[in-house]
A = this chain, B = another copy of it.
Amino acid sequence: MAHFADRLAEAVHRCGNPLCVGLDPRWESLPAEIRSKFGPTLGGVAQAYEEFCLRVLDIVAPIASVVKPQSAFFESCGMAGMMTLTRVLSKARRLGLITILDAKRGDIASTATAYADAAFDGTKIGDNVLPVWNADALTVNPYLGRDAIEPFLLSARKSNRGLFVLVRTSNPGAGLFQDLVCDGKPLHQHVGAAVAWWTRENVGVCGYGDVGAVVGATNAAELGRLRTLLPDVWFLVPGYGAQGGKAEDVAGAFNADGLGAIVNSSRGVTFPFQPDDEDWEDAIEKAAKSAAGELAAVMMR
């Protein structure tokens, strides 16, 4: 496998847009057609999530190049949900999509290694490496500091995977700690500076490194400032679409080369219908094409 940043650049060039489709299945939003097939047990819900997500993958694979399953919704079905997550990631890989496991993990030392090995190459047992999630990238939380990020990095670099570190998130209450000013600049810029330092340890031929930053779309000025401060860092930008961010709000996330950011839409692309709508697959295709088109237009400005 090529360097993670280069695979991301190639994928964006190939599709001509930076859309990342978030897979956040919710029982109450699923098409009635799917819900009616499965009973309201954890196993039934997990099967319904699986059918829905696999059909979404078929629809979006010709349009977008990156997908981001949100681990929480699969975990909320316990063991059966983990089987579903395995199958969703596996199908995404077969379709040639880049997969970002959105689990926002953060822990230290051997615990961080356990999370990272499971997310990437596989869990090491004796001399064997046993694949678990086999994702291309993982979101991680920086609060625990240096020795919480480094085990994830070590694991990712063994097989050319990537990390996206939370820097400035898109939720209304994100500023409580992320915007506290320390030594003349907000905390999230300190985290950003650490991300830039880590990413420069391993830069691909495209000029970007393998440690990205999660930067929300909900504050265009902040997004632009971070773009200037962190020129060689890939951004994963949530908050576009259902969370309120518009395509013009994310324009500042891109560098002059049109690269540097992938923009996530979850509900906006995967739930643009009411559960009783029979043409829900057409609605998803239309929403994905519309988001891809909007983002393609702003990425090259």
Contact (Cβ within 8 A) B118 A76: yes
Contact (Cβ within 8 A) B176 A180: no
Cβ of A83 under 8 Å from chain B: yes
Interface residue from B79, B144, B183 paired with A86 (Cβ < 8 Å): B79
**How distant is the Cα of A4 from the Cα of B183 in the complex, in angstroms?**
39
Bits for A67-87, please: 1 = Cβ < 8 Å to B, else 0: 000101101111110110010
Residues 7 to 46 of chain A near chain B (Cβ within 8 Å): 24, 26-28, 40-42, 45
The verdict on A106 contacting B107 (CB below 8 Å), with A82-B79, A173-B148 known, is no
Say which one of A120-128, A219-227, A282-290, A291-299 lies at the interface with B: A120-128
Bits for A176-195, please: 1 = Cβ < 8 Å to B, else 0: 11101111000100110010
Query: Which A residues lie at the B interface, using CB under 8 A?
Result: 24, 26-28, 40-42, 45, 70, 72-73, 75-80, 82-83, 86, 104-112, 114-115, 117-118, 123, 125-126, 128, 130, 132-133, 141-148, 150, 166, 169, 171-178, 180-183, 187, 190-191, 194
The verdict on A128 contacting B171 (CB below 8 Å), with A26-B110, A114-B73 known, is no
Contact (Cβ within 8 A) A174 B132: no
Contact (Cβ within 8 A) A82 B78: yes
Contact (Cβ within 8 A) B182 A194: no
For A181, the chain B residues whose CB sits under 8 A away are 182-183
Total copies of the chain: 2
For A109, the chain B residues whose CB sits under 8 A away are 171
Contact (Cβ within 8 A) A143 B177: yes
For A27, the chain B residues whose CB sits under 8 A away are 125-126
Chain B: CB-nearest residue to A117: B76
**How distant is the Cα of A86 from the Cα of B109 in the complex, in angstroms?**
24
Contact (Cβ within 8 A) A190 B177: yes
Interface residue from B118, B146, B191 paired with A173 (Cβ < 8 Å): B146
Contact (Cβ within 8 A) B114 A72: yes
The 5 closest A-B pairs by CB, nearest first: A146-B173, A147-B173, A145-B176, A180-B182, A72-B114
The verdict on A143 contacting B118 (CB below 8 Å), with A26-B110, A70-B111 known, is no
Contact (Cβ within 8 A) B142 A143: yes
**How distant is the Cα of A105 from the Cα of B166 in the complex, in angstroms?**
13
Interface residue from B77, B104, B133, B177 paired with A142 (Cβ < 8 Å): B177
For A166, the chain B residues whose CB sits under 8 A away are 143-144
Interface residue from B79, B128, B187 paired with A177 (Cβ < 8 Å): B187
For A183, the chain B residues whose CB sits under 8 A away are 180-181
Contact (Cβ within 8 A) A180 B190: yes
**How distant is the Cα of A294 from the Cα of B211 in the complex, in angstroms?**
43
Interface residue from B132, B174, B178 paired with A42 (Cβ < 8 Å): B132
For A80, the chain B residues whose CB sits under 8 A away are 79
Contact (Cβ within 8 A) A115 B178: no
